[in-house]
């Protein structure tokens, strides 16, 4: 972890109790573990986020669980917003470690769904950018939490963003290669206007009289 002096005196560490908090200790450990999980995926430029609290599942929540789940989701979104000022583009890898406080039944796919829903529009533009994924579900009765690592990854299924020039108005626009290899216009308006011009040979807005 950056910013931590190992030669710190006892009084100095007392002044900064967060250094000894379960959050600070787990942060370093979890980051190392998430990095080791993401390594086989070929993940580059990883960003790590640790969210305190019970990892919650997306499926069939009761009324009470629903409010708890919303809090967890809001916290996850808040942390992601801090770490990702703008959404990442291109192919991404995600590594998650879910620490649950009990052995109560839970399905890992629903836990992933919760993370993906929170990250959509914040860490990335679209879920389909994630082309590599790994994770673990573990037990920590005293300190339940969710560790999330997101980074770039190379893939034969290319989700790279491309800049094109609109063939109608000339404005540059971004699109994901998977949208359509044939996209030529920045907007539906430019597309339909250009089509009308092409087929009728008349200007898009006709003035009578």
List binders of Zn ion among 179-208 (CB under 5 A). 186, 190
Give the residue among 183, 112, 178 at the shortest CA–CA distance from 150: 112
Residues in binding contact with Zn ion, number by CB under 5 A? 6
Nearest distance in Å: CB 199, Zn ion: 18
Between 154 and 164, CB nearer to Zn ion: 164
Q: Which is nearer to Zn ion, 24 or 164 (CB)?
A: 164
Restricted to residues 12-31, the positions that interact with Zn ion (CB under 5 A) are: none
Of 124 and 185, nearer to Zn ion (C-beta) is 185
Q: Shortest gap between Cβ of 205 and Zn ion (angstroms)?
A: 16
The half-sphere exposure of 181 on its side-chain side, counting CA atoms within 13 A, is 1
Structure tokens at 197: 């011009």
| Contact code string over 151-180 relative to Zn ion, x by CB under 5 A | ---------------x-xx-x---------
Give yes or no for a contact between 99 and 142, defined as CB atoms under 8 angstroms apart: no
Residue with Cβ nearer Zn ion (3 or 172): 172
User: Interface with Zn ion by CB under 5 A: which residues?
Assistant: 166, 168-169, 171, 186, 190
């Amino acid at each position: 972890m950056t910013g931590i002096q190992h030669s710190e005196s006892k009084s100095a560490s007392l002044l900064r109790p967060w250094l000894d908090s379960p959050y600070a200790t787990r942060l370093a450990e979890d980051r190392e573990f998430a990095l080791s999980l993401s390594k086989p995926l070929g993940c580059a430029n990883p960003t790590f986020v640790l969210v305190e609290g019970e990892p919650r599942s997306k499926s069939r929540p009761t009324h009470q669980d629903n409010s708890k789940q919303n809090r967890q989701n809001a916290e996850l979104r808040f942390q992601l917003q801090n770490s990702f000022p703008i959404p990442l583009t291109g192919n991404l890898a995600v590594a998650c470690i879910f620490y649950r406080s009990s052995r109560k039944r839970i399905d890992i796919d629903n836990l992933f769904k919760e993370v993906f829903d929170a990250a959509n529009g914040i860490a990335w533009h679209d879920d389909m950018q994630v082309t590599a994924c790994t994770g673990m579900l573990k037990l920590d009765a005293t300190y339940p939490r969710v560790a999330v690592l997101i980074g770039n990854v190379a893939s034969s299924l290319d989700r790279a963003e491309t800049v094109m020039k609109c063939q109608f108005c000339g404005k540059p626009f971004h699109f994901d290669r998977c949208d359509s290899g044939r996209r030529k216009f920045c907007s539906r308006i430019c597309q339909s206007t250009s089509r009308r011009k092409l087929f009728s040979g008349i200007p898009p807005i006709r003035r009578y009289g």
